[in-house]
Amino acid sequence: MTGTPARTALVELSGVSKNYGNVRALEGVSLEVHAGEITCVLGDNGAGKSTLIKIIAGLHQHDGGTLSLDGEETRLSSPREALDRGIATVYQDLAVVPLMPVWRNFFLGSEPRKGVAPFKRMDVDHMRRTTRAELLRMGIDLRDVDQPIGTLSGGERQCVAIARAVHFGAKVLVLDEPTAALGVKQSGVVLKYVAAARDQGLGVVLITHNPHHAYLVGDRFVLLKRGTMVGAYTREGITLDELTTQMAGGNELDDLRHELQRAQRPGAV
C-alpha cells in the first residue's frame, strides 16, 4: 500500500460547490480520502459540513466541481448508489431505528435471504449470529442482540452503526459528528472503533467540530468556514495547537478573549 506513492484516492472532491436556491452552502471544497487513512473535516456550525456529507453520501448532488471515486469522475444519485459503490454513511442521529432489535437494525436495507421466490425469507439465525460476531470483532460484547437498539447508549449505537458499515464491505466510511453528543469516556470508545475501522483498511471521513478528537486519529485535516475551505493539512503539516487555533477562528479567538476579560473586570472589583 505504501509502495505506490501516487495511488488514486478512494474519494476525491475537487472544487466542489453546492447551492440551495440562491444560498451558497458550499464553495470550492477539495478533499481526498485514502484507504487506511482518516480524513477529518472540521468546522463550526453552519460551516457546510452536513452539505459536504450529503454529497458524499448521495443524498444531494453537487452543482460544481468534480467528485471522483477510485479516480473515475461520477455523480451519486441516491444513498443506495453510494452504498453500492462502497460508501457507507453513519449519521449523527438517524443511524438506527430505536424500537427495532439490534440484529434487525444491523442488516436493515441489506437483509440476507434464503428460500425460493414466494417464500423468500430472511435468514434470521445467520443475521443474529453475524451481528453478535461482528460486534465482538469490533470489541463490543452485547448481552442480547434482541434488545431494541434504543436501549443501548449513544456510544454503543454509533459503534453498532460503524460495525455494520464495516461488515457490508464499505470501502469508505463517512462519520457525521460521531462524538458530538457523547461524554469523554464514550467519545474515547467511539474513536477506538473509528481507528479499528481504519486499521481494517477503510478510508474514513470524520466530520467533527472537536479538534482534539480529530487530532487523536486524523491523517488529513480539512477546515471549513461559512461554506468555503480555509485550510487543508496533512498530519505532518500542523500541530494540535495550530489546528485548535485555526478551528476557533485564529484572530477571532484573541478578540473574544479580550472582550471577555474586559467584561469580567467590573465584577472582580
Kindly determine how many residues on this chain lie close enough to bind another protein according to the rule CB under 8 A: 39
Amino acid identity at 131: T
For 71, phi then psi, to 5°, come to 85, 0
* Cβ-contact 40, 220 below 8 angstroms: yes
Q: What single string gives the DSSP state of each residue in 121-168? A: EE-HHHHHHHHHHHHHHTT---S-TTSBGGGS-HHHHHHHHHHHHHHT
User: By CB under 8 A, what part of segment 35-94 binds another protein?
Assistant: 57, 59, 79-80, 83, 89, 91, 94
Query: Minimum distance between the CB of residue 102 and another protein, rounded to whole angstroms?
Result: 11
Residue 180 sits in the site that holds another protein (CB under 8 A): no
Query: Minimum distance between the CB of residue 161 and another protein, rounded to whole angstroms?
Result: 9
Query: Minimum distance between the CB of residue 69 and another protein, rounded to whole angstroms?
Result: 17
Beta-ladder partners of 27: 228
**x/- binding map, residues 216-255, to another protein, per CB under 8 A?**
----------------------------------------
* Cβ-contact 87, 70 below 8 angstroms: no
Of 83 and 163, the one with the shorter C-beta distance to another protein is 83
Residue of the chain from 3, 5, 121, 262 that contacts another protein (CB under 8 A): 121
Of 64 and 115, the one with the shorter C-beta distance to another protein is 115
| DSSP, res 87 | E
Query: Minimum distance between the CB of residue 32 and another protein, rounded to whole angstroms?
Result: 24
Residue 104 sits in the site that holds another protein (CB under 8 A): yes
Q: What share of the chain is helix, strand, coil (3-state, %, to 5)?
A: 40, 25, 35
User: By CB under 8 A, what part of segment 138-167 binds another protein?
Assistant: 140-144, 146-148, 151, 153, 155-156
Q: What single string gives the DSSP state of each residue in 184-250? A: HHHHHHHHHHHHHHHHTT-EEEEEES-HHHHHHH-SEEEEEETTEEEEEEEGGG--HHHHHHHHHTT
Q: Which three cell numbers stand for residue 245?
A: 487555533
With residue 92 as reference, give the H or E element that holds it: none
Residue of the chain from 98, 201, 237, 250 that contacts another protein (CB under 8 A): 98
Q: Could you list the residues that contact another protein (CB under 8 A)?
A: 57, 59, 79-80, 83, 89, 91, 94-100, 104, 107-111, 113, 120-122, 124, 140-144, 146-148, 151, 153, 155-156, 186, 189
